[in-house]
Amino acid sequence: MGFSDTRFDVNLSILFTELPLLERPAAAAAAGFTAVELWWPWVDAPAPGQAELDALRDALHSAGTRLVGLNFYAGQLPGPDRGALSIPGAESDRFRANIDVAADFAQSLGCTALNALYGNRVDGVDPAEQDELALENLVLAARAAHRVGAVLLIEALNAPESPRCPIVSAPKAIEVVDKVNDATGLGNAKFLMDLYHLSMNGEDLHEVIDRHTGRTGHVQIADNPGRGFPGSGELDFADLLGRLRKAGYDGWVGLEYKPGDGPSSAAFEWLPVADRAAKH
């Protein structure tokens, strides 16, 4: 089974990182891709200067690449903190300062998917207090996403790599999606189905796809073990992506994997060049 019916994008925060940020869109385009996604690129600046935002926007435009997914501020990524919105104090404040900045930047590029990473449990803080804060911040994020015509994505991470994250299963992520939609009445919170994280959690990927595709706003992939390119591990992506299509998913599939020892440009041999550029 081929991949001609799947819309792929490249995550420029994990691939092409051997290059400066502003050179990555052109590198992705040179590899044959027309769509990209990003974690929040300025890990120490939830509200960077306009010149930095303009420079990245210009780089994306110049390369002819479309931004299809963007994270809200989430602290240091990759790293053990992996999220900010449920952490009281400075991190939550940074997340709130980023909400409208990220939403407006996404809107300026036609990006319609904004991912909000939950955040770890914190010593000395009642988990219920963190969950209350998280819901408040997710409601703010959902409203900002709605303002710019975007969906708000809720992602499940994996327990082995993020043991202090409370969202480490598909059902838990769906539970949070429902809480946000109930609180806002907007219905724009969706599940981010990351098949690598779910596989690391030991979930039945066929069951996840069959049960939750209708609630899914974005998909990300990496092979397991190793978080490498498809074919480097044990997951059957022809089967999984075919099952997603059969279940009705026609959205973007983000390539969010590590390139391995070589340059990122060499990490796409599994995907024919003809299947890299978005056709619809």
Write the DSSP assignment of 161-200 as a string of letters.
T-TT-S--SHHHHHHHHHHHHHHHS---EEEEEEHHHHHH
Grouping H, G, I as helix, E, B as strand and the rest as coil, residue 69 is strand
What structural domains and CATH numbers belong to the chain? 7-275 (3.20.20.150)
Sign (positive or negative) of CA dihedral 173, 158, 230, 257: positive
Quote the pLDDT of residue 130: 97
Q: What is the pLDDT of residues 43-92, one digit of tens each?
A: 999 999 999 999 999 999 999 999 999 999 998 766 655 799 999 999 99
Are residues 181 and 139 in contact, defined by beta-carbon separation less than 8 angstroms?
A: no
Question: What are the φ/ψ torsions at residue 10 (nearest 5 degrees)?
Answer: -105, 130
187-237-70-150 Cα dihedral, nearest 10 degrees = -30
Going by pLDDT thresholds of 50, 70 and 90, the confidence category of residue 266 is very high
The upper half-sphere exposure of residue 180, i.e. CA atoms within 13 Å in the direction of its Cβ, equals: 32
- 161 is annotated as an active-site residue: no
Closest CA to 253 of 204, 195, 179: 195
189 Cβ contact list (under 8 Å, min separation 6): 138, 142, 151, 152, 153, 154, 176, 177, 180, 181
Q: Report how far residue 123's alpha carbon sits from residue 165's, in angstroms, rounded to the nearest whole number.
A: 12
Catalytic-labelled residue, pool 37, 91, 203, 256 = 256
Amino acid at 108: S
Cα 5 to Cα 1, 36, 170, distances in angstroms: 10, 17, 25
pLDDT over 70, % of the chain: 97
Quote the pLDDT of residue 80: 58
| pLDDT, mean over the chain | 96
Q: How far apart are the first and last CA of the chain?
A: 19
Q: Report how far residue 166's alpha carbon sits from residue 60's, in angstroms, rounded to the nearest whole number.
A: 34
Around Cβ 154, how many Cβ atoms within 10 Å?
28
Catalytic-labelled residue, pool 155, 161, 175, 269 = 155
Write the DSSP assignment of 193-222 as a string of letters.
EEHHHHHHTT--HHHHHHHHGGGEEEEEE-
Quote the pLDDT of residue 149: 98
- 155 is annotated as an active-site residue: yes
Q: What is the pLDDT of residues 17-36, one digit of tens each?
A: 999 999 999 999 999 999 99
Q: What is the pLDDT of residues 91-146, one digit of tens each?
A: 999 999 999 999 999 999 999 999 999 999 999 999 999 999 999 999 999 999 99
| Beta bridge mates, 45 | none
